[in-house]
Amino acid sequence: MKKLMYDYLINYLPPIEIARLRLEMNQPLKYKGLLINPARISSDILFAEFKSLTKDETNPNFFTYIKNEDTPGRNILHEAGAYYILDRSSMLISHFLEPLKNELVLDMCAAPGGKTISYALKNPQALIVANDFSTKRASELSKNIERMGLANVIVTNFDPNYFLKDFIGYFDKIILDAPCSGTGMFRKESKMEEDWSYEKTLRLLPLQDKLLDIAYRLLSPGGVISYSTCSFLHEEDEERVQKVINDHNDLHLVKLKMSEGFYEGTLEGTIHIFPHLYQGEGHFLAQLVKEGTPSSLEIDKKIGTFDSSLNLYTFEYQNEKYGLPFIVNSLINLPALRMGLKITNRTKYAKCPWDHALSHYLNSIKSIKLTKKEALAYLNGEELTSSIDIEDGYYLVSYNTINLGYVNKKGKRLKNCYPKGLRIKV
């Protein structure tokens, strides 16, 4: 008879807790979460739109909602980048990281983007390299960053080994949400439980060790690694953390602050998230700090021009204009899918001279206000009509004070400039 995942928890979780966990994992998911972009939307607008919202006690920009009562994922505001759908447990990864000014952050396995987005919103003065090895997943990551209009994120598509060529001891923080067996997500993805085996889990351990070792080598003195998995198993969690500590005597565990609903791991200060104790999916969290004093960051002020209207430094990259909160020459020479805020669109068949992402940074007061019906049509890529008495040319369009993108007005026609890659029938 095939052993179940729960059979492997008996060595470190009391039988009563295993029984409660198993019962909860067999229940349908009731609550989901979202993280708002406070620069784009107020909580008042959100509460008017969704009736089951509850503000989270640990993060003023995070809200939970009842899955069967509200559908924020299929809403105009979601497509406009006003918020990101994110599990409450995943939000904790950024919650435990302390922001620093002008810090360099690497999210090693970033897709689909929740960890990067949550920390980018928490610390606009950080410059984050969001990387994913999978080309398909990196493309989806880039779309999510574009939709959210984040200027402090560089999106790349490399094997993590790539960074070892030029970036050893470089990053102040490294986020590593490691590929794992996904046992904490069995309720969310039932097929994962059907396909799971302990033998498959063991085959992932060398990869987790390799990624942790790369993270250590890329980390600057005094820097922090945030290690997480969506697994309940100690083999992927505490044992991997203990191994990297044993391998590097200048790496030490940070004791994370315990709160209601957290379950302390067998390594003091590490946290397990169990769905029967906490309103979120299964996760493991640990932080590691490297001994030493951080070296001062050399910001290249010779490259780019400060744009006070955007509060960003703008520069040329691959024949386009981009903006970042600060410029580091070694990073803007990376081959990237997205290099911060893309400002221009100089491609041959561009429908608009400005990139869609720029619309998030412009004031909606001068925009053409759309009704809900018009906004839905716009997001679907449809052409609109308007009798508004203004000159022909390019204009912002907005819904509920939030910019959606651009149109090109020609007479009564409003030609749609919304990117094809983002279009969706809401």
Cβ neighbours, 10 Å, residue 333: 10
Contacts of 19 (CB under 8 A, 6+ apart): none
CA angle 421, 177, 290 (to 5 degrees): 130
Q: Quick one: three-class SS letters along 16-68?
A: HHHHHHHHHHCCCCCEEEEEECCCCCCHHHHHHHCCCCEECCCCCCEEEEECC
Cβ neighbours, 10 Å, residue 179: 15
- Give the burial class of 196: count Cβ atoms within 10 A of its Cβ; 0-12 exposed, 13-18 middle, 19 or more buried: middle
* DSSP label of 226: E
**CA dist., res. 80 & res. 320, Å (int):** 23
Strand partners, 272: 263, 284
Question: Which 3 state secondary structure label does DSSP give 254?
Answer: strand
Length of the chain: 426
Nearest to residue 184, comparing CAs of 234, 230, 229, 228? 230
**CA dist., res. 59 & res. 44, Å (int):** 16
Strand partners, 43: none
**CA dist., res. 35 & res. 63, Å (int):** 6
Q: Which of 109, 180, 230, 352 is catalytic?
A: 230
Residue type, 213: D
Active site residue 230: yes
CA-CA-CA-CA torsion for 351, 356, 358, 362, nearest 10 degrees?
A: 90
Which residues form the catalytic set?
Answer: 230
